[in-house]
Structure 1
Amino acid sequence: MKKMITNLSNIAREAGAAIMEVRSKGFDVLNKDDKSPVTAADIASNKVIAKHLAELYPEIPVLSEEGTKIPYEERKLWKDFFLVDPLDGTKEFIKDNGEFCVCIALMRENRPVLGVVYAPTQDTLYTGSIETGAQVSRKGEKPVSISTTPPAEGEGLNIVGSRSHPAPALAEYLETLNVKEMTPAGSAIKFCLVAEGKAHQYPRFNPTMEWDTAAGQAIVEAAGGSMLGLDGKEFPYNKENLRNAGFIVKA
């Protein structure tokens, strides 16, 4: 796992550099068939990731946001695969608020067992697996271990939520909690804030896609936290329909 984390970290950094190059030059925004936005940065990052994964791990298939047309009858047989979001937070990238990242997860038996999340504007890299625990590296420095920080008894909760996808159900849910602070943030960075103890919980009621959550979930779980569906059950992956239902991430 350590070697793969190193390899995927290097790939994520290179993909992040490709994103930043597009960002510096300017870009057009197009809409995909599902009306979600896509830019040249999404495509450039995906090319970097696909190229290196094919070179290093030709035996492991890849399911990416920018390459989803793989029949379910084929992918349901996969034991291992990479689940990739080459630019998570495209809306944040378009707004140019810096809250976007590269996400790469290794899936095994349809569970995220390793995750890498790289935020290029902050030059911050989060990694995690159950074998190695969770780490963060800032500005290229040596990785340091991170862990979730559950709230003390009676302590108000620090909640992190979606910046671009607020939901009425979230407000109703927060009314049932002792909330100290609610911080909006973009992309899978929200998972990482829980993983490093800066937030106690990340509830999500609006839909996401599987590539939005896999790497973040791997990191949160490696840091000692949990991610379950709103029904309290294990979160499913490699479904026929790749759209996710809601979930709650807890320290």
Structure 2
Amino acid sequence: MLATFEKAALEAGKAILEVYRAGYAVALKQDMSPVTLADERAEHIILRHLERDFPHIPAVAEEQASAGKIPNVRGRSFFLVDPLDGTREFIEHRDEFTVNIAYIENGIPIVGIVYAPALGIAFTGGSGGACKLFVDEHFGISDRVAIAVRERPARLTALASRCNSNAKTEDFLTDHSVSACTSIGSSLKFCLLAEGKADVYPRFGRTMEWDTAAGDAVLRAAGGSTLTTDGRLLAYGKIGQSEDCDFANPHFICWGGKKSEARA
């Protein structure tokens, strides 16, 4: 499965960079979030690969979901696709946008890839652990390095932007002896935790499952965890929620080397 993910992500990343370098128009979806031609091209490429290799596994993809095209995944394994996470970074010409593909089984992200085409790096997670991939100018993988979370230090490094944070984030950073705080866009925050460059990422803002699933798969494969504020592992395939729309996430905290006492 990861081989398909890699092919799909690299091809989608190439299409994204072509739009990125040529210039692009920006439209607004119904929720007023931005979308570009790159999002649409990348999603089409990824879904084509998934439908060809895994025709019986449904895929929930961000742009299709925005258009109301959502398959029934109740009680089923499925894919989650965010073809261009960090569209605002893309529009502002910051290179931290990513391609995200994940496979969900029993509510758990067990396989995932996060590819940052403008940075030439990707991260994968699966049953064999987590890896960082280096991608050359021809969109080939030039090297693979196994990664893992680091042991939790006495003074934590967090991934959160103080300039865009809220009171809950500030309280969390104060309560957990955070000595440094680094800002980075998109799902790369999960990946920095996975490769041992930070310790915690608190998210007290709204996200959707396709925003987090691929990075979460990488983090879990590297030995980390993503917990809701009541200590439960973040679950996927959340439909029929009374308090929010389908596939919306609650607030969560990602941990690197923390030894959690997570409840299922």
TM-score (norm 2): 0.88
Report the equivalent of 2:213. 214
Letter in 2 for 1:144: V
Distance 1:127 1:150 in 2: 20
Report the equivalent of 2:130. 134
Residue 65 of structure 1, CA deviation: 0.4
Deviations 1:27-46 (A, max 9, x none): 11111111111111111110
Instruction: Decide which of 8, 15, 20 is 2:17's aligned counterpart.
Output: 20
Q: Is 1:76 aligned to 2:81, yes or no?
A: no
Report the equivalent of 2:170. 171
Change in CA separation of 1:11 and 1:163 when aligned onto 2, cut-off 3 Å: farther
Structure 1 segments unaligned to the other structure (5+ residues):
none
Give the 5 Å matches for 1:194-213: 194-213=193-212
Indicate if the aligned counterparts of 2:226 and 2:255 stay in contact, CA closer than 8 A: yes
Structure 2 segments unaligned to the other structure (5+ residues):
136-140, 240-245, 257-264
Distance 1:29 1:64 in 2: 19
Percent identity of the aligned residues? Answer: 42
Residue 106 of structure 1, CA deviation: 0.5
Compute the RMSD of aligned alpha carbons: 1.6
Change in CA separation of 1:163 and 1:31 when aligned onto 2, cut-off 3 Å: farther
Residue 156 of structure 1, CA deviation: 1.5
Give the 5 Å matches for 1:97-176: 97-129=94-126, 131-139=127-135, 140-152=141-153, 155-161=154-160, 166-176=165-175
**How many residues in Structure 1 have an aligned counterpart in Structure 2?**
243
Letter in 2 for 1:219: V
Letter in 1 for 2:55: P
Change in CA separation of 1:165 and 1:42 when aligned onto 2, cut-off 3 Å: farther
